[in-house]
Structure 1
Amino acid sequence: MKLRRNLTALVLGLSTIAAFAQSGNTETRQIKEEGKTVFNPHWFMQVQAGASHTVGEAKFGDLISPAAALNVGYQFTPLWGLRAGLSGWEAKGAWVSPETIYKYNYLQGNVDATLDLSNLFCGYNPTRFFNAYLFGGIGVNGAFNNDEAVALNDAGHRLEYLWRDSKVNVVGRFGLGTNLRISDHVFFNIEVNANTMSDKYNSKKAGNSDWQFNALAGFTFKFGKTYTKTEPVYYEPTPVPPTPEPVVEEKKEEPAPEPVVVQPMKQNIYFVINSSEIRNSEQSKVSALAAYLKEHTDAKVSLCGYADKNTGNARINKKLSKERAEAVAEALKAQGISADRITVDYKGDTVQPFSTMEENRVTVCIAE
């Protein structure tokens, strides 16, 4: 029995200690500013291979040729990038009667502007699996090794736009692609593009531009640290004021008590970036100020607005700090505090009362 009582007491004691520990650990800290994922500009490279189709008077499959491409680019923002590429391999043309397919080679250099559609419509997310993009650009196409078309022409079939040694054409191009995320630095790439150029590209006269389409797959490699995660910023916990000791009244006659010195009240009302709206989490501070002023009818309050100098500019920050101070003043008036008891001042970003930029988005309130 004695052993059982001792075990029961031990279990109850451990449970009590665990309960107190859990109570202390679950105290939530109030977040001033959430952590963010910040984009970093970076270089990237794409290696692609697939098939090309040059439009002509033959079956679709008869005009399919191998193609490859190498692109190097720079992503300036979550939406916009610029890349330079080199592509080429083989192209085909067709003579109708008798049906003859002839081949030639080409090498094309191009510059494209890219637009990230996933970030445009769904917001920036560097860990998203599916990342669609659109691009458009210009290039220069150099075609060569046209011996088969030359032989066809020399055999009596007149190709009106025949070129013999080489042919250079200006190219307009556009396309659509996607990068499927494997890791932060490696993506599987799928891309289709269309290229339009002079009617003379395939040696035949058609009266319109020649078109070449490519379907490519490969890999996209991103270099360096492409994004940074910032930690949340927390408010410092408000210290609990000590409980005043009870005043012991003595029966003996004493001199008239000295007037009670009223302790001033200070409150820091924090704002989010580029805002003068008082958040719900800060309303309790405004209410505490109003209660203090109602209790101490001779007290007045001075309000001074600030803005952090790391964002915006001096003109915007001066206006923003003024609006922050005025917002607190209006909130106090709404709770019954007379305007002649409120003094409003603002410093813009010329004064930084705190060490962090988040704390400098503030209206400092001193009531006394």
Structure 2
Amino acid sequence: AWNVYSFEKPANELVRYQNVFGAASLEFMFDLVNYFAPYRETRVFHLIPFVGLGGHMKFYSANDKSGDKLGTENDYSGLLNGGLALKFRLGKRVDLNLEGQMMVSKNNFQGTRTVHEPADVTALVSAGLTFKLGRVAFQPITPMDYDLVNDLNGQISSLRAQNAELSKRPVSCPECPEVAPAVTKPIIENVVAFRIGSAKIDKNQMINVYNSAESAKANGGKIYIVGYADEQTGNANINMTLSQRRAEAVKDALINNYGVSADNIVIDFKGDTVQPFATNEWNRVAIIDIK
């Protein structure tokens, strides 16, 4: 709620009126600096225009000298407002905000020439400080290691070239002695990724659990599950427990969701003592081997 003073000069006498009112609005704010320039957490200045819709209530108007109330009381009307906010970063947790806005409503302030007009315009200027509590920085996420992807693509291209060269060789070699093919049992591996600090299997990872269950049923192999945690989060004790929970979560899903016998599953957990991948975030996993 605010006090707004208005002045009128009837009969050569200057009279001041006190108008007490309140206003609330829902505002749309648009940060021009962040939109047109690359985002930078330490940026000092932000320019933010805004518009809003809401309501306005004039509680009463009174003669400032005598205190006598004048005109109507508790007048409600709709409100349209807009303005510009200037935001200055003073530190990691403190911002200075300077704001100017115009409000359009049927406020019926006593002493103004627009008392009986369809709408009145009120200008407001304010300054304040914003204090940020708790965590104030973003945690960077590396969704993909492009160097690794490019390296894998290069290996795939090389293997394709080798395969094309091998396809040019004759199908049979009459002068070569026949060699009995070696029978080897394939090792099938799947990876189940987890969110940071979590041992809950996301829905998009259940396909890897399902594939492991189907492969084990088809090939008759035993399922080995090893849980891991990334070394840059938590501590050694927490990560060891977390990696155990991840391995057990995969085991439970195999048993309860896909009918794999518990006797056919062996689990292990390494915490952060072993990092199977070079990218830290990728080590929040449980790796499934079927042998």
Question: How would you bin the TM-score normalised by the shorter chain?
Answer: 0.3 to 0.5
Could you tell me the TM-score, scaled by structure 2's length?
Answer: 0.45
Question: Relative to total residues, which structure has the larger strand share, 1 or 2?
Answer: 1
Q: Which has the higher contact order (CA 8 A, sep 6+)?
A: 1
